[in-house]
A and B are shown apart, each in its own frame.
Chain A
Amino acid sequence: MKNIKIKIDNIDVIVPEGTTILEAAKKVKINIPHLCYHPDQAIKANCRLCVVDVSGSKKLTAACSSFVYEGMEVHTNTKKVRDMQKGILELILANHDQDCLKCLRNGNCELQALCQRFNISKTNLEDTVDALPLDDTNPSLIRDSAKCVKCNRCVDACQKVQEVHVLTHSHRSVHYNITPAYEMPLEQTFCVFCGQCAAVCPVGAIVEKDDTAKVWDAIYDPKKHVIVQVAPAVRVALGDAFNLPKGSIVTGKMVAALRRLGFDKIFDTNFTADLTIMEEGNELIQRLTKGGTLPMITSCSPGWINFIEGRYDHLLDHLSSCKSPQQMFGALSKSYYPEIAGIGSKNVYTVSIMPCTAKKYEAQRPEMITNGMPEVDAVLTTRELARMIQSAGIDFVGLEEDQFDNPFGIGTGAGAIFGATGGVMEAALRTAYEVITGKGLPGLNFTEVRGLSGIKESTVLIDDMELKVAVAHGLGNAKILLKQIEKGESPYAFIEIMACPGGCIGGGGQPIKSTREVKEKRMEAIYKIDEDLPLRKSHKNPDVLKLYENYLGEPLGHKSHQLLHTHYHSRGMKYNFSELTK
């Protein structure tokens, strides 16, 4: 590609043709202010904060949407540019609820940072906020229009990445808003609660529903035995919140922090990830050998479950009947665990730490009940855990490493890789191969299903059986595979689908600024955890085997069915127009 030479603030810059001014400026360490720009998204150019002066142009130019040309001269720091950028910032601020001290994004807000940068102290504008009412009636997400800056990043995530099409811009002028159709609350729409909108919001307009207070109450309640499970993707992302290098593996420090917070036992969701493979792997083998709907699709990702139960409810037979690792853990925490720990099951309070906002919704599903109790009592996202640690005054970086507790403390490498797209598939293949053939796997790494391509496929030879599998992450990609199934053209036997791009490492509950670059580092970390573990196949997890021996019996057995499987059903979100068109 052709290189273009330009000057930015009199500094020479050479960049490839097709580079924007904003990106070229980054090369010479100039950070042009911006709000709607996001490195993983399409150009929007609607906030206009990135306006700069291009010589020869009468008006200012948006740096995010203007491409460089040979000989271009850009000034980013003239009086006019600064005055205008500051003015635009004042305009945004004037219609933004400035209740910063009570905002979840306080200290981690792009608008706040810009106000600090521009030293906004007083403005002549009237700042009465005109906004739609708060939407906080679902378990996962809170939408606060009074804080919305209309950057449209969430719309991009909802429409272009996830193709869920719940959020849209609507109305015009001063009534312009970001909203679901007819301003419906999220739970009455096809929203899957993946939280990708919250993950890209520059401000506090879409945030996770904060459940930390609930968890503090439980910890402080002397009658409650509070146990916690931590999902595989949390340990490679939590460090972000404490300024550690992206992709740092902080498992030991995380366990130590949880212990200091006062949890009675700290367990690993990797354990139930291994258990999921035992159940789901056997379910696949059963469908392959004894007949059953194929392709079978994984059911670990609650965002994905909400998606298929909402829009593709006619394909529900393809879903594995397995509960997710979170809920398998929850079920055991209210049955097996109280028995062996000698604690009244009513006193066990189960908390999950998840990279995911949809897990909050999943935990509240009416069918996720064991022994008359909710299997999981509270779900915290990675972000909420970080806040609890900060709130407790724990110096996270300086902590000594600690270890998970038994009996749910051992997870294999197969469980660990659940956190990345392709991980469940790879874990399942490691087990299915050995269970079906009875032989040891020649190589453990199924690299074809790894990485950030939207859809990955592979053909695995198990004895003389060719098993075609596919992996999709991001619901837009999932749709492509579902359409194949609808048409009866799906060549696959087994499909893994994760709602979020990158899988759980890119979950909607992960620390803010999980860009593609960051996801790649987390992914590397996940596979490093796997490589470094002595056990890398779920069916070799000694505690899982013990659990079957002592309690569950066998995979897909009666007890397993009772505790570890469920029925997925239509969310009933679609209108039924059939009566009208008869």
Chain B
Amino acid sequence: MSKTVSIITENFGKYDPGSIDSYLSIGGFSAVKKALTMSSAEIIEMTKKAAVKGRGGAAYDTGRKWAQAASVPGEDKVVICNADEGEPCTFKDRSILSKDPFRLIEGMIIAGYTVGAKNGYIYLREEYRHLRPLIRNAIDESVAKGYLGENIINTGFSFHIHLYSGAGAYVCGEGSTLIESIEGKSGRPRIKPPFIKECGLFQLPTLVNNVETLAIAAAFIQHGVEEYLSHGTAGSPGTKIISLAGNVKNPGAYEIPFGLTLKEIIYDIGGGITDGHELKLLQLGGASGKIGPAAIVNTPYTYEDLAKEGLVVGSGGILVVDDRTRVIDFVKSIQDFFIHESCGKCTPCREGNRQISKIIDRFVEGRQQPDDLQTAERFANIMSNCAFCGLGETAQSTLLSAIKHFPEEFGLTEVAENEKH
């Protein structure tokens, strides 16, 4: 377990997340105190230096995002904390929400101060409703102690946080869809332009950040970026909380420095495969991420190395699958997920998923037609090229990468062999 680190997670277990006094006793709110003495430009500079890529999955540079949000004109802006982590095999934000809610609040205040927002919204997924009282309490206690609300610790800066509940919809993890949901509507993505950074929640300029991203910001403001940057690689500096699960002995959320190999993560941190089985495949970044074969385990866990294998860090989910699972069954399970979660608005996603599901079902039952695989691939490509939002674009990542890496499981061994030569 020595391969894990604790920067983002440094407070985990160190205080009672239900008590602001407990939080203050370990130096809580020193990040906010420090940030409010800095200028917006200084914080943005620091954020750029930390080179944090958005931890929701899109991996957009946080410093750049904050700089853009700060430069958008507007008296009234909004910061949204996206706590709707819905990718299967992703529960790292849950660890922050349940073990260190006050640091999240600090991160939001800092983000709000930096971009010039007056209001912040936490969009908490319904599946985490058991955490609602804890977060509600963290907000209320912060307000009561003057760390949140009007005139925060007498600096003249005011910032309010509102807690909103999701109601079970993966697509609401997408920024504009999340905004629709906070506005009390069904979660279907908006047309862009206008872009949410200019015209988002309630038509106001809006910054959307993931829970982990905001927690990191609070951490490096508190301690400076040096400690954070002492970890990781040149291309992927710093640390990341991963959600490790599946057929590993020790599943869980772990903070790791970028650059560990997948093998180190699975065997040294995860304790290896359960029941003496063999690793078969990995899925990184949740259902919208691609899958890779066991052969990739020596790849370092960095943005750049994974990209070479056609994989992504995404939300930080690492799903370990051993030889007990058939690839086609795995693909079906992912397909069932998207059939449940497509919002239905656009044709490629709604009808593409409907048709591809029928084909995958035939494969599962061994009654596939000769053209089926070709048809599925064709429509998977149409989905990734033409769908309205990221959900439809990435829904077939699993299928396409499964066909690529495991052609034999689709009855394609000979074709694949021919292509090699």
Contacts and interface: CB of A to CB of B under 8 A. Distances in A.
B partners with A? yes
Contacts of A173: 338-344, 350, 353-354
| Count class of interface residues, chain A | 35 or more
Interface string A225-265: 00000000000000000000000000000000000000000
B191 to A, nearest CB: 5
A80 B345 CA distance: 23
Contacts of B348: 48, 88, 91
| Chain A binding surface, main DSSP class | loop
B379 A176 contact: no
A100 interface: no
Given A91-B352, A91-B379, A51 B347 contact: no
B191 A65 contact: yes
Interface string B339-380: 111111111101111110010000000000101100100110
A47 interface: yes
Interface in B386-418: 386-388, 393
14 contacts: A45-B346, A48-B388, A59-B384, A59-B385, A62-B386, A91-B347, A91-B351, A94-B354, A125-B375, A126-B358, A169-B345, A172-B171, A172-B343, A173-B341
Nearest to B171: A172
Interface string A401-416: 0000000000000000
Contacts of B382: 84, 87-88, 91
A171 B345 CA distance: 10
- Leading 5 A-B pairs by shortest Cβ distance: A176-B344, A91-B351, A173-B342, A87-B382, A124-B375
Contact of B388 (A45, A49, A94, A170): A45
| Count class of interface residues, chain B | 35 or more
B385 A176 contact: no
B193 interface: yes
A45 B352 CA distance: 16
B385 A175 contact: no
B186 interface: yes
Interface string A46-64: 1111010000000110100
A43 interface: yes
Report which residue of A80, A83, A125 has the largest number of chain B beta carbons within 10 angstroms of its beta carbon: A125
Interface of B: 169, 171, 186, 188, 191, 193, 338-348, 350-355, 358, 369, 371-372, 375, 378-379, 381-382, 384-388, 393
Report which residue of A43, A44, A125, A173 has the largest number of chain B beta carbons within 10 angstroms of its beta carbon: A173
A48 B386 contact: yes
Contacts of A51: 385-386
Contact of A60 (B169, B353, B375, B386): B386
A174 interface: yes
A140 interface: no
A67 interface: yes
A360 interface: no
Nearest to A93: B351
A172 B342 contact: yes
Nearest to B354: A174
A298 to B, nearest CB: 36
Contact of A45 (B169, B191, B372, B379): B191
A169 B388 CA distance: 16
Contact of B350 (A62, A67, A83, A150): A150
A48 B345 CA distance: 10
A173 B342 CA distance: 5
Contact of B339 (A47, A87, A170, A174): A174
B339 A67 contact: no
A324 B355 CA distance: 50
Interface in A120-177: 124-126, 130, 149-150, 169-176
Nearest to A174: B354
Nearest to A95: B351
A87 B378 contact: yes
Contact of B344 (A45, A67, A172): A172
A92 interface: yes
Contacts of A172: 169, 171, 186, 341-344
A150 B347 contact: yes
Nearest to B349: A173
Contact of B393 (A59, A88, A169): A59
A150 B345 CA distance: 8
B375 A59 contact: no
Contact of A47 (B169, B347, B369, B379): B347
Contacts of B387: 48
A124 B371 contact: yes
A248 B352 CA distance: 44
Nearest to A44: B191
A92 B347 contact: yes
Given A47-B346, A49-B347, A60 B385 contact: yes
B355 A126 contact: yes
Contacts of A87: 378-379, 382
Nearest to B343: A172
A175 B28 CA distance: 48
A124 B348 CA distance: 16
A65 B386 CA distance: 13
A51 B347 CA distance: 12
Contacts of A80: 385
Contacts of B350: 150, 173-174, 176
A193 to B, nearest CB: 26
A155 to B, nearest CB: 11
B355 A150 contact: no
Given A45-B191, A84-B382, A176 B345 contact: yes
A331 to B, nearest CB: 47
A171 B191 CA distance: 20
Contacts of B354: 94-95, 130, 173-174
Given A47-B347, A91-B347, 6 more contacts: A84-B381, A88-B347, A172-B342, A173-B354, A174-B350, A176-B344
Contacts of A84: 381-382, 385-386
Contacts of B339: 173-174
Interface string A21-54: 0000000000000000000000111111101000
Nearest to A87: B382
B10 to A, nearest CB: 39
B386 A88 contact: yes
Contacts of B169: 172
A83 B341 CA distance: 26
Contacts of A170: 186
Contacts of A47: 346-347
A174 B371 CA distance: 23
B342 A94 contact: no
Nearest to B190: A45
A51 B346 CA distance: 12
